[in-house]
């Protein structure tokens, strides 16, 4: 979501007549987009803004103005931030992007995209969040849940298709809850799948309650909807899930997984997990480990619990020692390496439809892209001149925990 907001701000600044800088070195204005979901993320953003303010004060570079946007602004407030960051020129709260000085007034901040978008674009379909997971600062800093109008979303995706975008990722904190009157999220998906030029539709994040038969039949009927879901589980322990206020049990979560994998055994599932939630016992942690095995995740992001002031869980003692959080983090990551490899091995010999992203970061002689399951696929560029944004068919020859190697067929 922050990447999307940054893109919108950049596009609006350009539309208002500004020119993009080559980098930080020649920029006259830098706006730092902050995250506050964990303390570490917030510290990083504020540290960066502090460094830029100091650079501006020295006057040895082109830098004339520094701004701060994003969720840390909502959490800490402008007054506190200006105290912490002498020289900071302005602060912008989430959802108030059109208040950025240097912008033409009245800009459509949700619909703005860079003039030359790539082949893939983010589209906001919901803002805010009305869930109240005990550990989470998002509802406080991003405000109430709001579904964007159907017509606005369709218009934006049509516009993107017109500019050559092939893949859209719909964004919302609990995106399956999107609704407009009688129109449900799967109905929105079906409408977007009709747009010519759009080849892939993704969305994130999802909640197991939204994994309905209606969603599965949209997957079945519309091949453009990628068979990948980011379905954050957070914990495998019913006790912890209840304390977190996640509104599902371990069994309900696994039933959602089963529904998707019964429909397509290759259905790709990724997740978020928190380790070291207050009171998380060894048995709770073991429950998370076994759930992850049962679910057979294709990939997982593991976060060490970080108390966020003002959330319900911040009142609880942060009693899992840092070293233990670290250990649990490492255990889950190494489990996932093994699991990712096992899942990927099953795909050896299959042919994947891959959207070409460009040269591989690690080896310039190879091209890299993603299959519908969001798996990274890499192949020798050789004779094939696959263009960025085109779809090629790649036969998988070799599996690694995070990557599939193959050849174009
Ligand atoms: N709306 C999404 C999650 C958004 S926040 C959902 O509910 O699925 C992204 C991830 O950050 C969460 O899934 C969670 O794993 C992690 N996270 C949020 N608050 C956290 C905290 N206080 N400490 C550690 N990780 C946290
Ligand atoms: Fe945070 Fe829960 Fe909302 Fe996700 S659903 S943003 S974890 S409150």
pLDDT tens for 271-288 read 999 999 999 999 999 999
Q: Which CATH number fits domain 120-345: 3.40.50.720, 3.30.750.200, 3.80.30.20, 3.40.50.300?
A: 3.80.30.20
Convert 328-396 into a string of H (helix), E (strand) and C (coil): HHHHHHHHHHHHHHHHHHCCCCCEEEEEEEEECCCCCCEEEEECCCCCEEEEECCCCCCCCCCEEEEEE
Q: What was the pLDDT predicted at 67?
A: 98
pLDDT in tens, 237-284: 999 999 999 999 999 999 999 999 999 999 999 999 999 999 999 999
2-103 and 351-408 have identical folds = no
Q: 356 C-alpha vs ligand 2 centroid, how far in Å? A: 32
pLDDT at 383: 66
Q: What is the pLDDT of residue 363?
A: 84
Query: Quick check: 320 pLDDT over 90?
Result: yes
Pick the atom of ligand 1 nearest to 313's CA: 22
Q: In this model, does residue 235 exceed pLDDT 70?
A: yes
Q: With a 6 A CB cut-off, is 27 part of the ligand 2 pocket?
A: no
Q: Which residues form ligand 1's pocket by a CB distance below 6 Å?
A: 37-38, 135-136, 138, 173-174, 205, 232, 234, 272, 274, 303, 305-306, 308
Confidence of residue 386 (pLDDT cuts 50, 70, 90): confident
Distance CA 391, CA 370 (A): 9
Mean pLDDT in residue range 322-340: 98
Q: How large is the average pLDDT for residues 79-105?
A: 93
**Residue nearest atom 1 of ligand 2, based on CA coordinates:** 136
What percent of the chain is helix, strand and coil (3-state, nearest 5)? 40, 20, 40
* Best CATH choice for the domain 351-408 from the list 3.40.50.1700, 1.10.150.670, 2.40.50.140, 3.20.20.70: 2.40.50.140
pLDDT (tens digit per residue) in 298-318: 999 999 999 999 999 999 999
Answer yes or no: is the C-beta of 69 below 6 A from any ligand 2 atom. Answer: no
Whole-structure pTM over 0.85, yes or no? yes
Query: Where are the chain's structural domains?
Result: 2-103, 120-345, 351-408
Spatial CA neighbour of 29 closest among 44, 9, 3? 9
Architecture of domain 2-103: 3-Layer(aba) Sandwich (3.40)
Among 10-14, 68-72, 105-109, 139-143, whose mean pLDDT is lowest? Answer: 105-109
Q: What is the mean pLDDT of the chain?
A: 96
């Amino acid at each position: 979501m922050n990447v999307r907001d940054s893109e919108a701000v950049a596009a609006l600044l350009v539309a208002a007549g500004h020119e993009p800088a080559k980098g930080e070195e020649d920029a006259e204005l830098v706006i730092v987009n902050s995250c506050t979901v964990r303390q570490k993320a917030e510290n990083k953003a504020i540290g960066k803004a502090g460094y830029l303010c100091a650079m501006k004060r020295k006057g040895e570079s082109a830098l004339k103005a520094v701004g701060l946007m994003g969720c840390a602004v909502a959490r800490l407030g402008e007054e506190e931030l200006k105290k912490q960051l002498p020289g900071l020129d302005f602060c912008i709260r989430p959802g108030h992007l059109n208040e950025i000085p240097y912008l033409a007034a009245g800009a459509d901040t949700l619909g703005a995209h860079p003039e030359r978008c790539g082949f893939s674009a983010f589209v906001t379909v919901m803002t805010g969040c009305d869930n109240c997971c005990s550990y989470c600062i998002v509802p406080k800093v991003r405000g109430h849940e709001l579904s964007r109008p159907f017509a606005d979303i369709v218009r934006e995706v049509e516009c993107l298709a017109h500019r050559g975008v092939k893949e859209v990722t719909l964004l919302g904190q609990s995106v399956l809850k999107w609704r407009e009157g009688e129109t449900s999220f799967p109905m929105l998906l079906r409408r977007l799948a009709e747009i010519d030029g759009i080849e892939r539709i993704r969305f994130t994040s999802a909640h197991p309650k939204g994994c309905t038969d209606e969603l599965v039949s949209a997957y079945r009927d519309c091949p453009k909807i990628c068979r990948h879901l980011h379905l954050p589980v957070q914990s495998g322990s019913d006790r912890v899930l209840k304390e977190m206020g996640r509104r599902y049990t371990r069994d309900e979560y696994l039933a959602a997984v089963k529904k998707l994998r019964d429909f397509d055994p290759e259905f790709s599932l990724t997740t978020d997990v928190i380790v070291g939630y207050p009171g998380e016992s060894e048995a709770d942690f073991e429950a998370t480990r076994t759930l992850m095995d049962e679910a057979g995740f294709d990939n997982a992001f593991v976060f060490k619990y970080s108390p966020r002031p003002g959330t319900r869980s911040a009142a609880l003692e942060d009693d899992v020692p840092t070293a233990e959080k670290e250990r649990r983090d490492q255990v889950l990551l190494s489990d996932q390496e093994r699991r990712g490899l096992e899942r990927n091995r099953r795909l050896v010999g299959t042919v994947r439809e891959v959207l070409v992203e460009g040269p591989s970061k690690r080896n310039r002689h190879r091209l890299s892209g993603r299959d519908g399951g969001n798996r990274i696929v890499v192949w020798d560029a050789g004779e094939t001149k696959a263009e960025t944004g085109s779809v090629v068919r790649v036969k998988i020859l070799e599996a690694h925990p995070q990557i599939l190697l193959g050849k174009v067929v």
